[in-house]
Structure 1
Amino acid sequence: MGERRRARRQRDVQEFEAFAADVAGRLLHTAALLTGAPAEHPGPAADRLLVAALAHTLSRWDRVRDDDPYDHTRQQLVLRATHAFPRWRPRTTASGSRLPWCAAGLRRKGGAARAVPAPAEAAAPGADGTGPDSEARPPRPAPPPRPRPPRPASPPPGPLHRLSPRERAVAVLLLYEEVPPAQVAARLGLSTDRVHLLVRRSVSRVLDAPPPLPEGGGAGGGRGGAEGGVAAAGRSGTRAGAR
């Protein structure tokens, strides 16, 4: 029984690795747009978003493998990017006040919290200057400060960085992922009219934003640049096998 379970688990992992290798490029473009970063430089936020969504898909691979794993992973990207994913909430005491039982110095036991005293540190002889060898041991000099490595330059913001997380989600799903408006409304808990209003407002805000100056010189703007930030910014991503 154990060998059969391990064989099935290994098969699931191999199928998931093939799926992730097939769609990771396009999903990374989607994550970059959802976080407001340019598609050419996704950044660490998009990487963390994609890793969390893929990890969620892997944990439920036996249930989503025959349905639509790409759609499930994309939905996780949207939920986490719009902060709609359920988070852990701190427990409360009998009086209703929040109880940070996982904080340092507290331990949960039987529904109540009790303070845990810190262990006493054993002092070395002569460490406080009162031992017999205190005069023979001069104080150690402080180590020189270590030079900090220079921080890498942050990538320029993407065309959607001025939008709210929900506006970015609606714009990306409609214009880049080409999801029907009714499905976008159902997944985000909005009405269809609200979805159309959000996408119109998003396009208007992107058009009104001053275009960034490229490294080579001249600035490009207009509706082509705004639509390129959503619909054409990630067209280079791989779509084969996405659905």
Structure 2
Amino acid sequence: MRERQASQNARRAREFEAFVAGAAGRLLHAATLLTAEPPDDNPRARRLLTAALAHTYASWDRLRGEDPYDRTRQQLAVRFARGAWHEYGGLGWAHPRSHRKLDSVLYCLTPQERLILVLRLYEGVAEEQAAALLGLPTERVRAICARAMATLLHPPREAAPVIAKVAPS
């Protein structure tokens, strides 16, 4: 009995290691896009991915033909949304601009816009699937994605520098 369980655990570990070897790079990139961190300094993205992979590993035996990449991507999205809710007070209302400036073109987007844009454009998730995952109407996902694209194509301008007037002497 113990030999059989040890054999099953070893097989499970090998299967999961093979999955991670093939998918971790793309998933880390998606997490980095979500967090808008630089690719070479992305601790939030790494924590996000680690938690999503841990959840996938914990449910590995219950996947029953379900795509582990899809499951991990869903976990990544849900955990990002939950973290944005706690960090910024909501997914789409508060804006991270008040926090430290990051060198990412996605930084100018709200967390909700980033999440939808990454799911739709980087991951290729259909509008209907993204809407179901986020609990939003399909039309809302379409509108948010369009707004995010418009913001990226025509970013908001920085405030003009203040020029101090010099009093005549």
**TM-score after normalising by structure 2:** 0.77
- Identity in percent: 48
Q: Cα deviation per residue 1:192-238 (whole Å; 9 max; x = unaligned)?
A: 11001101111122233369xxxxxxxxxxxxxxxxxxxxxxxxxxx
For the 8 Å contact 1:168–1:202, the answer to whether it is kept is yes
Higher Cα Rg: structure 1 or 2? 1
Residue 152 of structure 2 aligns to which amino acid in structure 1? V
| Structure 1 outlier segments of 4+, above 4 Å | none
Residue 43 of structure 2 aligns to which amino acid in structure 1? P
2:137 is the counterpart of 1:184: no
Does the residue aligned with 1:161 lie in a helix, a strand or coil? helix
Task: Select the structure with the greater relative contact order (CA < 8 A; seq sep ≥ 6).
Answer: 1
Distance 1:82 1:192 in 2: 17
Aligned residue number for residue 36 of structure 1: 36
Give 1:164 shift.
Answer: 1.9
Aligned residue number for residue 167 of structure 1: 113
- Relative to structure 1, the CA distance from residue 5 to residue 69 in structure 2 (aligned partners, 3 Å threshold; closer, same or farther) is same
- Relative to structure 1, the CA distance from residue 155 to residue 70 in structure 2 (aligned partners, 3 Å threshold; closer, same or farther) is farther
Does the residue aligned with 1:157 lie in a helix, a strand or coil? coil
Does the residue aligned with 2:6 lie in a helix, a strand or coil? helix
**RMSD over equivalenced CA pairs, Å:** 2.4
Q: Cα deviation per residue 1:58-79 (whole Å; 9 max; x = unaligned)?
A: 0000012621000000000000
More helix by share: 2
Distance 1:18 1:42 in 2: 25
Residue 50 of structure 2 aligns to which amino acid in structure 1? V
Aligned residue number for residue 160 of structure 2: none
Q: Cα deviation per residue 1:140-164 (whole Å; 9 max; x = unaligned)?
A: xxxxxxxxxxxxxx99521111222
Does the residue aligned with 1:166 lie in a helix, a strand or coil? helix
Residue 75 of structure 2 aligns to which amino acid in structure 1? Q
For the 8 Å contact 1:37–1:160, the answer to whether it is kept is no
Distance 2:125 2:56 in 1: 20
- Relative to structure 1, the CA distance from residue 42 to residue 53 in structure 2 (aligned partners, 3 Å threshold; closer, same or farther) is farther
Q: Cα deviation per residue 1:99-140 (whole Å; 9 max; x = unaligned)?
A: xxxxxxxxxxxxxxxxxxxxxxxxxxxxxxxxxxxxxxxxxx
Does the residue aligned with 1:83 lie in a helix, a strand or coil? helix
Alignment: residue pair count: 143
Aligned residue number for residue 3 of structure 2: 3
**TM-score after normalising by structure 1:** 0.54
Give 1:84 shift.
Answer: 7.2
Q: Kindly report which structure 2 residues correspond to 1:16-165, keeping only aligned pairs within 5 A, or say none.
A: 16-38=16-38, 40-41=39-40, 43-64=42-63, 66-83=65-82, 156-165=102-111
Distance 1:37 1:14 in 2: 31
Q: Cα deviation per residue 1:165-201 (whole Å; 9 max; x = unaligned)?
A: 2211110111111111111111110111100110111
